[in-house]
């Protein structure tokens, strides 16, 4: 991912916190988590330059693989966000009747994944991996402004012609 793509990802993800969860108090908490992960991507544990897409990074060389035992030069963004949610108690486990465990994803966990996945997809490698949003949600992210071309270019029919209630995949 280039610096320009990272800046777009950052802008989109922070703006999306306004529409990903309804309660303003929870929006502030979500925004804090999004910014924390963005900080990790820009100088922390996760290097944005190694990220190609939500679930793809640059492959590690043979010597790097022997050293780290990972097929990639850094952790995948999707895995990093899942681990982050677990470490910050946004995801929990529940034992099922059969005795195995299944994850329980909080609304905050789901919203955090949506903000970062949609931002990464639109900024770096479009895959339409996030459902449940509308054109109106995009317009709320840029109040009083046009939706940027780098976002609007991915949609058919054009965003400018769509109704606020039209569903979109981000």
pLDDT, tens only, 23-65: 999 999 999 999 999 999 998 888 888 888 888 776 655 655 5
**In the structure, what pLDDT confidence band is assigned to residue 88 with cuts at 50, 70 and 90?**
very high
pLDDT surpasses 70 at 68: no
Whole-prediction pTM value? Answer: 0.86
pLDDT of residue 55: 83
Residue scoring higher pLDDT (93 or 66) = 93
Inter-residue contact 118 to 12 (CB < 8 Å)? yes
CA 25 to chain centre: 20
- At 16, the pLDDT band (50, 70, 90 cuts) reads very high
Mean per-residue pLDDT over the chain, rounded = 87
Q: Break the chain into its structural domains and give their ranges.
A: 3-129
Q: How far is CA 67 from the centre of its chain?
A: 29
Length reported for the chain: 170
Under a CB-based contact definition with an 8 Å cutoff, are residues 29 and 115 in contact?
no
Is pLDDT above 80 for 14? yes
Pairing of β 56-57 and β 91-95: unpaired
C-alpha to C-alpha distance for 1 and 54, rounded to whole angstroms: 11
CA distance 76 to 56: 6
Position 58 scores a pLDDT of 60
């Amino acid at each position: 991912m280039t610096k320009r793509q990272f800046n777009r990802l950052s802008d989109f993800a922070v703006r999306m916190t306004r529409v990903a969860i309804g309660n303003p108090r929870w929006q502030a908490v979500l925004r804090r988590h999004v910014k924390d992960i963005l900080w990790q991507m820009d100088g922390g544990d996760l290097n944005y330059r190694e990220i190609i897409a939500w679930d793809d990074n640059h492959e590690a060389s043979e010597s790097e693989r022997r050293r780290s035992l990972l097929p990639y030069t850094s952790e995948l963004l999707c895995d990093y966000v899942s681990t982050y949610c677990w470490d910050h108690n946004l995801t929990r486990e529940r034992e099922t009747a059969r005795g195995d465990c299944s994850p329980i994803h909080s609304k905050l966990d789901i919203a955090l994944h949506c903000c970062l996945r949609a931002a990464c997809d639109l900024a770096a490698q479009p895959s339409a991996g996030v459902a449940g949003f509308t054109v109106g949600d995009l317009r709320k992210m840029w109040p009083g402004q046009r939706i940027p071309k780098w976002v609007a270019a991915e949609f058919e029919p054009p965003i400018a012609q769509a109704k606020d209630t039209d569903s979109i995949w981000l």
